[in-house]
Amino acid sequence: MTTLSTPPDLRPAETELTATEPTDVWYTVCPVPAASSLAIARGELDEAFRDGDVRLNSIRSHPDRKVREAHYDQSQPNAFREGGNVPPLWAKSVGRNLRVIGLSWVETYSAVLALPGSGIREPGDLRGKRLGLIGRPNDPVDYPRATSLRGYHAALESAGLGFDDVTLVNIPITETLVGKPPEAGALSRSLFSARLMRRRQGPELRALLRGEIDALYLNAQGAEVQALLDAEVVFDVAAAPDVRSRINNLSPTVFTVRGELLDSRPDIVARYLARAIRTARWAKANPVEAKRGIARDSGIAEEWVDAVYTPEVAAILEPTLDDHLIALLEDQKNFLLRHGFLGGDFSVPDWIARGPLEEALRLVADDPR
């Protein structure tokens, strides 16, 4: 009698499949002309990471206040930011793991204004006058104060004056910059809705209208204020012949990434930056549509774009790491350090990471679309 052996199991051995979690990547952009802002609105970033290995998260519209504050204090890991230079300079000075991967320069409205009939018509007239200076004691990075101070410095310096020749009047604002999260269903889900940004101008405008100050410095939305008040332009900072006089929070604009993301996933950083470059080149080829996006992202009406920024704004958004922009950023760092806005000194050239831009440009060249 033959005993039949049990046939072997011909099914393939089962293996345990472990799904790889996508990498959480965070992004934020200031309300300024920026290639990454247009890329977000056009769906370019979603397209870049459609393979699912990256999960994109917005810092500006997040319900958690601590996450929203990272737009200013750069505390969120794995985050990209494109925008004003004061917050990243501060963040680097206090030890944040942050690298600069791109710079751009867009001329922005920047002026010292006085009320019509005040008799203050040129920088020399500011001697002995009261200049309004916003102060935000409850925010980790008081970039509005730094911005105004640098604008006043340019105006006073042009007339051979200094801060000892004027009175700086503190205008304290206890409400924090991040405030409450955007309401569900709101047209704008960001920290920078047009309505909110106009309201933020209220304290210094009221101080001017009440006669508590004689002049104030404004940038960006200041063009609208000038028209509204028929204000006297005491000094047009944006027209200063020396580019160093035009340095401020928005000039140059800084593109940063957290260091841990660059170290662990340089491929993500290059892909993100490549999309920004492609979008900048699209903007150059499509200026009308690009300016419409810039208006939306800046919280201004479309007709104000050419007044607030240079008319060529759509053509100059591509991030670079040109040496002259690095030198201008170093100048800004020195100004902020000299006036007590930074936690310590550091070398701006050593802060630059050139690899991501080089790789991003290679990716764009291989697939220019």
Residue 143 token pair: 């970039």
Peptide bond into 63 cis (omega under 30): no
CA distance 75 to 65: 12
CA distance 113 to 28: 31
In whole angstroms, give the CA distance from residue 184 to residue 202.
25
Entry pTM: 0.90
List the domains of the chain with CATH numbers: 23-106+250-366 (3.40.190.10), 110-180+189-246 (3.40.190.10)
Residue type, 70: A
- How far CA 67 is from CA of 41, 142, 176, in Å, comes to 21, 18, 14
C-alpha to C-alpha distance for 145 and 138, rounded to whole angstroms = 13
Q: What is the full per-residue pLDDT of the chain (369 aa) written as tens digits?
A: 444 444 444 434 443 434 578 999 999 999 999 999 999 999 999 999 998 899 999 998 888 989 999 999 999 999 999 999 999 999 999 999 999 999 999 999 999 999 999 999 999 999 999 999 998 888 888 999 999 999 999 999 999 999 999 999 999 988 877 766 555 544 344 446 666 666 667 788 999 999 999 999 999 888 999 999 999 999 999 999 999 999 999 999 999 999 999 999 999 999 999 999 999 999 999 999 999 999 998 888 899 999 999 999 999 999 999 999 999 999 999 999 999 999 999 999 999 999 999 999 999 998 766
Between the CA of residue 296 and those of 103, 104, 150, 196, 303, what are the distances in Å?
22, 19, 27, 14, 11
> How many angstroms separate the most distant Cα atoms in the chain?
122
Residue identified by tokens 């409205």 is: 109
How far the first Cα of the chain sits from its last, in Å, is 75
Question: Distance between CA 365 and CA 369 in Å, rounded?
Answer: 9
Which residue is associated with the tokens 């991030």?
319
